[in-house]
Amino acid sequence: MGRRWRDGRGRLVVEGGPDGSAVTVPLEIAASYRARTKGLLGRDAIDGALLLSPANSVHTFRMRFPIDVAYLDRRLTVIAVCTMPPGRLGLPRLRARHVLEAEAGAMAGWGVRAGVRVEAVDGQGRPPAP
């Protein structure tokens, strides 16, 4: 059975960052229909990343800034990463179960690339409640 996420905040841990160590960044989780629909719309920036779950595609219509998009499988392994300017529609990724969004260029700095596994944890270092 898959994990059920709840809207909230936590931290994203990227194993094997650019220098080989783990990188931790602030994370927002959008699991409800309403939170996923709003996403990053109406914002000028984001501090950290936004996890949309469940999701296998995104769009950047009405967005104010370009974003990096990482498609994740059910085990939070990165399938693909791309940068999307405003006004674009991303094609669905069949194996994707979650989508991670951040400001353009941020994911390269964190070491997020295809094949890397990420982890989402709450403020106490535990995975968010199922």
Residue 1's pLDDT band, with cuts at 50, 70 and 90, is: very low
In this prediction, residue 19 carries a pLDDT of: 74
In this prediction, residue 125 carries a pLDDT of: 54
**CA dist., res. 86 & res. 47, Å (int):** 18
Question: How many other CB atoms are found less than 10 A from the CB of residue 101?
Answer: 24
Name the 3-class secondary structure at 125.
Answer: coil
If phi > 0 it is left, if psi is from -120 to 50 it is alpha, else beta; for residue 88 that is beta
Query: Could you report the per-residue pLDDT of 51-101, keeping only the tens digit for each?
Result: 999 999 999 998 999 999 999 999 999 999 999 999 999 999 999 999 999
Residue 60 C-alpha from the chain's centroid: 14
In this prediction, residue 87 carries a pLDDT of: 93
**CA dist., res. 123 & res. 10, Å (int):** 5
Whole-prediction pTM: 0.89
Average pLDDT taken over every residue of the chain: 89
